[in-house]
Amino acid sequence: MNARGALRGSQAGLIRGCCLGLLVLAALAIFAAVEGFRALADPNLGDLPAGAAHGSSVAVIAGALAGDAATQLLTGEHAAVTLSEQDLTVIAVARNPSPDRFRDPQVRIRNGLVVVTGQSSVGPFGVTPVARTQLTFDNSSGTPQITAQVVSFAVGQLDLPLWLATRLDPRASASINLTNLFASNPALKLLAQAMECVTIHPDGVHVGFHRPGVVADSSRCG
């Protein structure tokens, strides 16, 4: 191959390399734009938090639940109360650990999980963080505990890996700390010692209790 042919070959290779690089950059730009739109989009969680509202503050909700459970236990061995989406939203607002970063929290029940959303900002853009949380009831130590754990995290419609979410997590699990709710009312705190089950249903979180001396029955939250 003569020098001119070699030059043309190197130029063609350079052009192909440049075009490939431009294509890669264009593809990355399109991917970033699509993912950006997903992050800025509404998470499509449906209706606003619903269900029976037991009060406009944590103290009022706790008192209402204590009264409801106590009334049931006067006539039966077991009792079950329900924390609605509206109740959980009031609790999330009151317990919000980062009100400057995670504004106007709302709580919904979706697909067997407690879904906590809020309003936040990334630079000049407003976004909606979404934390899907599961509740676990444990009485193995003799002291009933309800643990909230975030199982998935998203911004708008863009799912994030958990390792990244831990840096952005608005600590939704802290905002729906039901153990603190039961400790906020003397009667409810006493009832919490006889808690027997916690389950998530479409109408809210069901919490069951039993009379002292009565065997716990986890099916009471069904």
CA distance 203 to 46: 14
Q: What is the pLDDT of residues 90-107, one digit of tens each?
A: 999 988 888 888 889 999
Is pLDDT at 25 greater than 60 in this prediction? no
DSSP 220: G
Q: Which residues pair with 130 in a beta bridge?
A: 117, 154
Highest-pLDDT range among 20-34, 120-134, 165-179: 120-134
- Spatial neighbors of 199 by CB under 8 A, at least 6 apart, are 137, 205, 206, 221, 222
- 60 or 140: whose pLDDT is higher? 60
> 79: how many CB neighbours lie within 10 A of its CB?
23
Taking only the tens place, the pLDDT of each residue in 202-216 is 999 999 999 988 998
Comparing 14-28, 56-70, 75-89, which segment has the lowest mean pLDDT? 14-28
Does 9 or 198 have the greater pLDDT score?
198
Residue 66: pLDDT above 90? yes
Question: If pLDDT is split at 50, 70 and 90, which confidence band does 74 have?
Answer: very high
- Residue 148 token pair: 């909230």
pLDDT score, position 82? 96
State the pLDDT at residue 171.
60
Token pair 């998203």 in the structure block, residue: 154
Q: What is the DSSP letter of 109?
A: E
Tell me: pLDDT of 1 over 80: no
Non-local (6+) Cβ contacts of 219 within 8 A are 197
CA distance 134 to 148: 6
The phi, psi pair for 73, rounded to 5°, reads -75, -15
Question: CA 177, CA 129: separation in Å to the nearest integer?
Answer: 18
pLDDT of residue 30: 41
| Per-residue pLDDT at 126 | 76
Q: Looking at residue 69, what is its pLDDT?
A: 94
Residue 211, helix vs strand vs coil: coil
